[in-house]
Amino acid sequence: MTELFITGFLLSLSLCLDLGIVNVAAFSTAATRGARPAFVLGIGSCFGDLTYAVIAMLGVASFLHFEVVRWVLWLGGSAILVYLAVKMLIQSFRAPAFIADPAAGTEASAGRRFAGDFGKGFAMAIASPSAILWFASVGGSLIATTAGNAANPWPFFLGFFVCGLAWSAFVALTGSRIHRHAAEAGFARLFVRGLAAVSALLFAALAAKVMIDGYRSLL
């Protein structure tokens, strides 16, 4: 059981270390809104990654190679990436002030923010080009071999999920420190604009890559 847990943890870490859209979005959220919403976004992405991991364990990693699925992921992923690129571009010109207390507001609005951050993390994990590539190539086959052949695969998935949570906490705390220091230094708006511009460029580059790769493979 311990070996399965460690294997799942390390496999998840190899996925977390990739500089993909989820890491960028979580770091940006932490730097602009604080640790809590960034961690909630990270939790959502963990469930998205876990969804792919379960699919891989069931021996249907080839699911990602079905033409219909590839069309859906291509169009959906491209749309999400373009939306995020435009949103970050707008934010780079309209940098908001830092939110001192992310938990402030009514209980209803806090609940909506929680659901929105969680859903955003889940959707980006499902649509992430780097995650799809990881599961469709190395990750999916390793999970199918390791967890699929185990009598009790749940320690593997526990390790996989715990690593995602730990990484999400690390990104949230690291980004929130920048949140505090930037606000104290008096250049919060400049920092937010620069981070948003970099995020917009990354999202745009990833969107272009997804569109081009999809065009070459599907058309």
Q: What is the pTM of this model?
A: 0.66
Give me the pLDDT at residue 142, please.
72
Q: How far apart are CA 177 and CA 166, in angstroms?
A: 17
Higher pLDDT, 109 or 103: 109
* Residue 83 pLDDT class (50, 70, 90 cuts): confident
Given a contact cutoff of 8 angstroms between Cβ atoms, the answer to whether 45 and 124 are in contact is yes
3-state secondary structure the chain: CHHHHHHHHHHHHHHHCCCCHHHHHHHHHHHHHCHHHHHHHHHHHHHHHHHHHHHHHCCCHHHHHCHHHHHHHHHHHHHHHHHHHHHHHHHHHCCCCCCCCCCCCCHHHHHHHHHHHHHHHHHHHHHCHHHHHHHHHHHHHHHHHHCCCCCCCHHHHHHHHHHHHHHHHHHHHHHHHHHHHHHHHCCHHHHHHHHHHHHHHHHHHHHHHHHHHHHHHHC
Residue 164 inside a domain? The answer is: yes
Average pLDDT (172-199) is 68
Residue 142 inside a domain? The answer is: yes
Residue 200 inside a domain? The answer is: no
Residue 107 inside a domain? The answer is: yes
Domain that holds residue 6: 2-79+97-185
pLDDT at 95 over 80: no
Give me the pLDDT at residue 160, please.
92
Q: How far apart are CA 172 and CA 174, in angstroms?
A: 6
Give me the pLDDT at residue 161, please.
94
Residue 195 inside a domain? The answer is: no
Instruction: Give the rounded distance of the alpha carbon of 4 from its chain centre.
Output: 24
217 closest CA partner among 71, 82, 81, 76: 71
Quote the number of domains for the chain. 1
Residue 194 inside a domain? The answer is: no
Q: Kindly state the tokens that stand for 182.
A: 């930037």
Give me the pLDDT at residue 102, please.
42
Average pLDDT (204-210) is 76
Distance (Å) of CA 41 to CA 28, 114, 120, 157, 167: 11, 8, 6, 20, 12
Residue 215 inside a domain? The answer is: no
Give me the pLDDT at residue 195, please.
65
Give me the pLDDT at residue 100, please.
44
Give me the pLDDT at residue 105, please.
45
Flag the least confident range among 9-13, 71-75, 84-88, 148-152.
148-152
Higher pLDDT, 142 or 11: 11
Residue 156 inside a domain? The answer is: yes
Give me the pLDDT at residue 101, please.
44
Condensed to tens digits (0 to 9), the pLDDT of residues 31-61 reads: 778 889 999 999 999 999 998 888 877 765 5
Higher pLDDT, 80 or 152: 152
Higher pLDDT, 133 or 114: 114
Give me the pLDDT at residue 213, please.
73
Give the count of beta carbons closer than 10 Å to the beta carbon of residue 173.
13
Give me the pLDDT at residue 104, please.
44
Average pLDDT (71-84) is 74
- The chain-wide mean pLDDT, for the chain, equals 76
Q: How far apart are CA 35 and CA 124, in angstroms?
A: 18
